[in-house]
Amino acid sequence: MSIRSPAQKTWRRRLGERGSVLIEFALVTPILVVLLMGILELGMAFFVMSLLEASVREASRYGITGRTEEGMSRADAILAIIEDRTIGLVDMTKIQVDTLVYPNFGAIGTGETYVDGNANGAYDDGETFTDSNSNGVRDADVGVPGVGGSGDIVLYRIRYNWELLTPFTAGFIGKDGKIPISASVAVRNEPWGTTP
């Protein structure tokens, strides 16, 4: 029979405590890492979102002036502004930039009016509609693609799927490893008239 001194007992107890601390640490560390990665991913997505919002505002500020750059269409100049303001973080081949012209601010996001013949609350083929943009089909959005002329109301809209940097966080953030981001701004073009 061995008799342990009080010092040995304290030592063993401390070893035991240290062991359980190590086990707790081993259990908690992966959770902390995932949590940290999640925070970093969300932070990055918010950063890209703020860049996209700033870029769409900047693009619209250029657009309302009606100014054209040498050898570049206004639409291309708008894309160039967005590319420049997103500091290379956005894949310009995957971004969706729409500029839509509306008859008034209230029309933004509205569809062409129709008579709901079968009263199902939705437009169905064959129901009568007002073809306000004269393209022969009923549109769910009355906006006409384009950057607009003098005094026109234009909606600038960006849609982008930000890809997560760490695929293992996809389990609890975003959709299929991506975070959909959209930014839009509606402006009225300055009345630049026609050049004499």
What SS3 state is found at 99? strand
What is the C-alpha separation between 68 and 61, in angstroms, rounded? Answer: 13
24 is a contact residue toward Ca ion (CB under 5 A):
no
135 is a contact residue toward Ca ion (CB under 5 A):
yes
For residue 52, count CB atoms less than 10 angstroms from its CB and return exposed for 0-12, middle for 13-18, buried for 19 or more: buried
With CB under 5 A as the contact rule, the residue among 104, 118, 194, 195 that binds Ca ion is: 118
133 is a contact residue toward Ca ion (CB under 5 A):
yes
125 is a contact residue toward Ca ion (CB under 5 A):
no
With CB under 5 A as the contact rule, the residue among 17, 69, 84, 116 that binds Ca ion is: 116
Subset of residues 47 to 106 that bind Ca ion, contact rule: CB under 5 A: none
Using CB under 5 A, which of the segments 14-22, 101-109, 120-128, 161-169 binds Ca ion? Answer: 120-128
With CB under 5 A as the contact rule, the residue among 139, 163, 170, 173 that binds Ca ion is: 139
- Judge whether 188 and 152 are in contact, CB under 8 Å: yes
With CB under 5 A as the contact rule, the residue among 120, 125, 167, 176 that binds Ca ion is: 120
Using CB under 5 A, which of the segments 44-52, 136-144, 175-183, 186-194 binds Ca ion? Answer: 136-144
- Judge whether 159 and 49 are in contact, CB under 8 Å: no
CB atoms within 10 A of CB 142: 20
For residue 115, count CB atoms less than 10 angstroms from its CB and return exposed for 0-12, middle for 13-18, buried for 19 or more: exposed
Using CB under 5 A, which of the segments 10-18, 26-34, 83-91, 110-118 binds Ca ion? Answer: 110-118
With CB under 5 A as the contact rule, the residue among 69, 76, 124, 190 that binds Ca ion is: 124
What is the C-alpha separation between 82 and 97, in angstroms, rounded? Answer: 9
Nearer to Ca ion, 23 or 122 (CB): 122
What SS3 state is found at 91? coil
110 is a contact residue toward Ca ion (CB under 5 A):
no
Q: State the angle between helix axes of 6-63 and 74-85 in degrees (0 to 180), rounded to the nearest 10.
A: 160
Which residues of this protein are in contact with Ca ion, per CB under 5 A?
Answer: 116, 118, 120, 124, 131, 133, 135, 139
